[in-house]
Amino acid sequence: MTSQPPISARKADHLDLCTDGDVAFRTKTNLFEQVGLVHDALPELATEEVDLTTEFAGKTLRAPLFIAAMTGGVDRAHTINRELASVAEELGIGFAFGSQRPLLTKGIRAGYEVRDVAPNALVLGNIGIVQAATTPSADLAELVATCGADALVVHLNPAMEVVQPEGDNDFRGGLDTIARLLEDLDCPLVVKETGCGLSRHVGERIRALGVQWVDTSGAGGTSWVAVEANRATGMQKLLGEAFWDWGIPTAASVAQLSGLGLGICATGGIHNGVQIAQALALGAACGGIARVFLQAHAAGGRDAVRDTAQRVIDEIRVAMLLCGAQDVADLRTKPLVLGPALARWVPTGSPLARHTR
């Protein structure tokens, strides 16, 4: 039997691969190139009049941007997450922890203590559905309290797990687990994928349970199957190669979830504020960026992260101005041109159907 590496070693592998590794989708994009925002040459707005505020998981963000889930559970994550979270505090945007399984199962706190530098920011906790299924609700409530999170993200990641050398293979009971957590936890619950996107069928089932918030984590950016394929050997590595590009593109996932009454955070291969504006126009409440911020931190520390985040916020504001949209709700009323590859994902009856032919 092959010995499994300690969980901190796995998190260190993830951090290295997400910063510098060959883990991008090979042929699949996030499909935001299929979203045409229509230019308004007479916007009748001043730049400072554009209102970027939005709500997610029960809190108001000053701009519709998240520093999305990346890391935790390894010593290096301590400084990284504290500096990322402090930028979120300064700019009024959101911050999400990477998986907190190391904290839950091993008591590892590295990377999960940020409240002293981000007392007011929207902070999201994070645990996998398989771990949540076998963990008492009281322990998960304690996890949320320990890290000071405002909400708990439960991530769904079957494709990643089946390739991971030490991954899980039993994904039964997920809906029951979500229903239990909705009943037992006092904080908001966010359901997210991990690089493969959420379909309308998933959205309908979790909405019926009472879920209000989702994170698409769609295909087109970092492939977490690819991350695990880089760590795997033998047949599991071959499996990872076969499913490297598996998943629903991020823009398609937002389109799939449109009209279900869910607050959507669009993540997955987003690189700039224009793509976030495109996600907002499709119906998202906000958008998240992960790898770009991680690479900025590696290159220039907190200052580089802050500059990158401010640049993204400025891009969202200008994109909204150039569409003639005064706020996020207004942007959703503006005309869109959807390319055929994305239009095929728009469900019948979706508010986006008016943009398809």
What does pLDDT average to over the chain? Answer: 92
Domain that holds residue 74: 7-355
Q: State the alpha helices, DSSP H only, in the chain.
A: 7-20, 75-91, 101-106, 129-133, 137-147, 158-163, 174-184, 200-209, 224-231, 234-242, 250-257, 273-282, 291-322, 328-331, 340-343
Q: Which pLDDT value is given to residue 222?
A: 86
Distance CA 286, CA 270 (A): 11
- Asked whether residue 238 is domain-assigned, the answer is yes
CATH of the domain at 111: 3.20.20.70
Does residue 12 carry a pLDDT above 70?
no
Segment 184-205, tens digit of pLDDT? 999 999 999 999 999 999 999 9
Segment 90-102, tens digit of pLDDT? 999 999 998 898 8
Name the residue type at position 194.
Answer: T
- Asked whether residue 194 is domain-assigned, the answer is yes
Q: Which pLDDT value is given to residue 231?
A: 83
For residue 127, CA distances in Å to 72, 163, 178, 239, 287 come to 11, 18, 12, 25, 20
Which residue has 């039964």 as its token pair? 172
Does residue 24 carry a pLDDT above 80?
yes
Better-predicted residue by pLDDT, 160 or 136: 136
- Taking Cα atoms as reference points, which of 60, 64, 67, 104 lies closest to residue 84? 67
Pairing state of beta strands 94-96 and 65-67? Answer: parallel
Segment 290-322, tens digit of pLDDT? 999 999 999 999 999 999 999 999 999 999 999
- Asked whether residue 82 is domain-assigned, the answer is yes
Residue 124 half-sphere exposure toward CB, CA atoms < 13 A: 32
73: left (phi over 0), alpha (psi -120 to 50) or beta: left
Does residue 1 carry a pLDDT above 60?
no
Could you give the percent of the chain with pLDDT greater than 90?
A: 76
- Taking Cα atoms as reference points, which of 91, 37, 8, 33 lies closest to residue 319? 37
- Taking Cα atoms as reference points, which of 94, 105, 107 lies closest to residue 128? 105
- Asked whether residue 77 is domain-assigned, the answer is yes
Segment 211-256, tens digit of pLDDT? 999 999 999 988 888 888 888 888 889 988 999 999 999 999 999 9
- The average pLDDT across 155-164 equals 91
> What's the domain count of the chain?
1
Positive/negative CA dihedral, 225, 229, 231, 237: positive
- Asked whether residue 2 is domain-assigned, the answer is no
- Taking Cα atoms as reference points, which of 120, 166, 123 lies closest to residue 145? 123
